[in-house]
Amino acid sequence: MKTIMLFCFFIGSFFQAQTHRYIYELQLKMDSTENEHQKFYMILDVNKNETKFYGRNLLIADSLNKKFGNLDNKHVDMTGQVIKRKNGSSENENFSNIKFGYYSYKTTDIINWKIENETKKYNDYSLQKATADFGGRHWIAWFNKDIPFNEGPYKFRGLPGLIFEIQDDKNNFIYKLVKNQNFSENFATDDFLESNFGNKAVVINEKQKRKLLLDFYNDPFSFERTNFKNNPNLNINIGGKQISSIEELNAQVKNLQNIIRKYNNPVEADKAINYN
């Protein structure tokens, strides 16, 4: 079992911290029909007034930009799990890259947990089991009552203690807590969460988000198509391949549509778009 690098609880530093950071290893299947998982490291920041969840790669890119004084390092989240919420609230603000835009939209995500009697040890920590149905999946969580936050990865919150582990019963998504940090000041995420490396989030709703995704699916190279119509002799590089005609562009559209359909396995399965 992997050793958790957690909880050297010096009471003073814990309660004086402005940001409590918990790092989770996330294993997910981009394609639900395959056995292979991809691994990501995700960050849960519990601040005084709000909680945020995002990929560590976003933080790394932002740190490099601040170190070298530029915005050359950018990162697009591939998990679909960048959110923030007020502490104690089930209303989440979701952030998403769609084509060249960056958007935010709000959802209300109430999870009705069933706390089980079953417990287990994880290293030296006592965890208790809880289950819930959320997002079209059945979830099994293990939480620790000694950590005074009713938070967890993504939108999973509301248990009487911090969630250490959670996964769905089909093993599409597996979260495991691996590390924690405390910061004396509120950790700012303005440059990579509320905005995406220079692109401020445009506020939309869920219906508009679905339309943007469907529009992108139906014609992902609309900009390139317009350029071809204006200049038939144009050559365009798409993914390292030179495209010199509408016919070749249409073939690339079909290829990308196949990829989008194949990797259509969001954490909230009941919100998956039926691209067919």
Please check whether residue 41 is in contact with residue 274, taking contact to mean a CB–CB distance below 8 angstroms: no
Mean pLDDT of 124-143: 97
pLDDT digits (tens, 9 = 90+) for 180-206: 999 988 999 999 999 999 889 999 999
* Average pLDDT for the chain: 90
4 falls within a domain: no
d(CA 176, CA 5) in angstroms, rounded, equals 12
Domain end call among 174, 203, 232: 203
Q: Are residues 172 and 260 in the same domain?
A: no
Q: Are residues 194 and 210 in the same domain?
A: no
- CA end-to-end span of the chain, whole Å? 42
Q: Are residues 69 and 83 in the same domain?
A: yes
Q: Is the pLDDT of residue 72 over 60?
A: yes
Q: Are residues 178 and 73 in the same domain?
A: yes
5 falls within a domain: no
In this prediction, residue 42 carries a pLDDT of 98
Q: Are residues 120 and 245 in the same domain?
A: no
In this prediction, residue 246 carries a pLDDT of 85
Scan for tokens 């995500």, then name that residue.
109
pLDDT digits (tens, 9 = 90+) for 84-98: 999 999 999 999 999
Percent residues over pLDDT 70 in the chain:
93
276 falls within a domain: no
Q: Are residues 68 and 120 in the same domain?
A: yes
pLDDT digits (tens, 9 = 90+) for 210-238: 999 999 999 998 888 888 778 777 788 88
Domain end call among 203, 221, 248: 203
d(CA 210, CA 111) in angstroms, rounded, equals 23
123 falls within a domain: yes
d(CA 9, CA 17) in angstroms, rounded, equals 12
pLDDT digits (tens, 9 = 90+) for 5-52: 555 443 444 556 789 999 999 999 999 999 999 999 999 999 999 999
261 falls within a domain: yes
In this prediction, residue 137 carries a pLDDT of 98
In this prediction, residue 3 carries a pLDDT of 47
Of 74-83, 130-139, 219-228, which gets the smallest average pLDDT? 219-228
CA distances from 140 to 117, 153, 176, 240, 266 (A): 13, 13, 12, 43, 17
How far does Cα 151 stand from its chain's mean position?
A: 16
255 falls within a domain: yes
Q: Are residues 57 and 184 in the same domain?
A: yes
In this prediction, residue 6 carries a pLDDT of 55
Scan for tokens 């029909």, then name that residue.
33
Question: What CATH number does the domain containing 177 carry?
Answer: 2.50.20
Angle at Cα 206 formed by Cα 165 and Cα 155, nearest 5°? Answer: 15
Scan for tokens 């790394």, then name that residue.
60
Q: Are residues 223 and 250 in the same domain?
A: yes
Q: Are residues 159 and 229 in the same domain?
A: no
CA distances from 197 to 52, 54, 73, 201, 257 (A): 17, 14, 8, 10, 27
Q: Are residues 256 and 170 in the same domain?
A: no
Q: Domain count of the chain?
A: 2
In this prediction, residue 244 carries a pLDDT of 85
Range of the domain at 169: 11-203
CA-closest candidate to residue 58, choices 177, 199, 197: 197
16 falls within a domain: yes
Mean pLDDT of 65-76: 77
pLDDT digits (tens, 9 = 90+) for 143-179: 999 998 999 999 999 999 999 999 999 999 999 999 9
CA-closest candidate to residue 29, choices 271, 262, 270: 262
Q: Are residues 128 and 215 in the same domain?
A: no
Q: Is the pLDDT of residue 273 over 60?
A: yes
Half-sphere exposure of 164 (CA within 13 A, CB side): 24
Instruction: Provide the whole-model pTM.
Output: 0.91
CA-closest candidate to residue 72, choices 198, 201, 239: 198
Domain end call among 203, 226, 254: 203
In this prediction, residue 16 carries a pLDDT of 62
In this prediction, residue 1 carries a pLDDT of 43
Please check whether residue 159 is in contact with residue 143, taking contact to mean a CB–CB distance below 8 angstroms: yes
Q: Are residues 242 and 116 in the same domain?
A: no
2 falls within a domain: no
In this prediction, residue 148 carries a pLDDT of 87
